[in-house]
Amino acid sequence: MDTVRGANQVACLRFLADTDDAQTVGVISTGTGLSRPTVHAVLDDLVEAGLVVATEPSTAGPGRPARAFRFAREAGLVAGVDLGPRGARAIICDLSGRRVAYAELRQEPTPDLIQRAVHTAAGKCSIDLERLRAVGVALPGVIEPNGYLRASLALPDLVGVQIADLVAQDLGKPVAVDNDIKLAALAEQRVGAGRGYSDVVYLQIGQRLSVSIVLNGVIRQGRHRLAGELGAQRGMRWTRNAQRGQLIWASHPTGEEVLTAAADGDASARAEIDDFCAQIAARIATVLLTVDPEVVVVRGGLAQDSGVLLRPLVAAVEKELIFPERPPFVASALGREAVVLGAVGNTFDRFGSDIYGVKDYPSPWHQISTGAIP
């Protein structure tokens, strides 16, 4: 009985969450396929839980005025924070997944910068953080399930810090912490360039080259949380001039500048990209033959990849493979937002029952990805 009741709550709440307008019991009944008495009972529960609000009935026209109900998306908030070597980015979403606040802080990365980013985002939009229900954090490095940062080349000063506990103590809410590239891969698989595929390899090329894998719609962590950490292999260098995992470019200072110059026709930049792709192709081919994914999502630093990276990368990888079967390579659809979107979406996944008080309510990934930054 409780299972049926929970399923009915999810059906009614999803129906109301997908519309901006209040709906009558009759409309909800038709939309969900549930009987009117069932809808009445479910709505009473949801109103009591604070997830649904009953609007004032219309008095226009003859007969008894109809009651209408809307999803109380403003009743709760979920935050996501991307903490990296150059600062932090935070978004805050309401219960529908819509973004209601954003902040970016360019400061030295410290544990308290996570909380400050959330408070700054809330302050900019006069949001009461008493409504906050959970927080997600993305960090570069190897992270234990309890939120302990075990290793990180990008944030060496934070290694050994129990990030989840520190953030939870300050904000007083449950905290989900995971690797930034893994969260970016999850976001791309759920609502980005990998949408519709269960098995995705995510390749990010920037200051470092990082790989993450999603299998059957779930981040592949591995027994020791090391899946995709190719840079942890002793003596492994993605390219000849890489230093401690850091990619060093010759024609221009950063990878983004090299790609931009190549897109503008710079011959030296294009030659460097061709050489770069040839150097990393064997490693990528090994990952593909190990995982055999449905698609490879590549983020190279440009807002739109016109083929300046994808074409030479695909050509170089093809030379390493014997079999003709291979996954398509596609450009990232979420770009630099993938990490912070993954952080907040993963938090909805992890703490959905606590966030909504309704079991098995689906995470609002589609709203998280489409909302504009305030």
For residue 371, pLDDT over 90 is answered with no
For residue 241, pLDDT over 90 is answered with no
State how far the Cα of 276 lies from the Cα of 35, in Å rounded to an integer.
Answer: 62
Residues 210-219: contacts with CB within 8 Å, 24+ apart? 210/181, 211/181, 211/287, 212/179, 212/181, 212/182, 212/184, 212/185, 213/185, 213/287, 213/291, 213/293, 214/185, 214/186, 214/189, 215/291, 217/189, 217/190, 219/178, 219/182, 219/183, 219/185, 219/186
The burial of 348, by beta-carbon neighbours within 10 Å (0-12 exposed, 13-18 middle, 19 or more buried), is given as buried
State how far the Cα of 21 lies from the Cα of 146, in Å rounded to an integer.
Answer: 40
For residue 233, pLDDT over 70 is answered with no
The helix, strand and coil proportions of the chain, stated in percent and rounded to the nearest 5, come to 40, 20, 35
For residue 81, pLDDT over 90 is answered with yes
Please give the full DSSP string across 276-324, using - where no structure is assigned: HHHHHHHHHHHHHHHH--SEEEEE-SSSS--STTHHHHHHHHHTT-SSS
State how far the Cα of 119 lies from the Cα of 330, in Å rounded to an integer.
Answer: 36
User: If pLDDT is split at 50, 70 and 90, which confidence band does 207 have?
Assistant: confident
User: If pLDDT is split at 50, 70 and 90, which confidence band does 235 have?
Assistant: low
Q: What is the pLDDT of residue 5?
A: 87
**345-365 mean pLDDT:** 94
Q: What is the pLDDT of residue 243?
A: 75
**64-68 mean pLDDT:** 73
Average pLDDT, the chain: 90
Q: For 85-133, write each residue's pLDDT tens digit.
A: 999 999 999 999 999 999 999 999 998 999 999 999 999 999 999 999 9
Task: Take residue 370 and report the two structure tokens written for it.
Answer: 């489409």
Percentage of the chain exceeding pLDDT 70: 93
**197-211 mean pLDDT:** 91
Q: What is the pTM of this model?
A: 0.92
Q: What is the pLDDT of residue 90?
A: 97
Q: What is the pLDDT of residue 57?
A: 61
State how far the Cα of 316 lies from the Cα of 310, in Å rounded to an integer.
Answer: 10
State how far the Cα of 238 lies from the Cα of 287, in Å rounded to an integer.
Answer: 13
For residue 370, pLDDT over 80 is answered with no
Phi, psi of 196 (to 5 degrees): 95, -10
Q: What is the pLDDT of residue 236?
A: 64
Q: What is the pLDDT of residue 110?
A: 92
Q: What is the pLDDT of residue 83?
A: 97
Q: For 322-342, write each residue's pLDDT tens digit.
A: 999 999 999 999 998 999 999
Q: For 245-286, write each residue's pLDDT tens digit.
A: 778 888 998 888 999 899 899 999 999 999 999 999 999 999
User: If pLDDT is split at 50, 70 and 90, which confidence band does 58 have?
Assistant: low
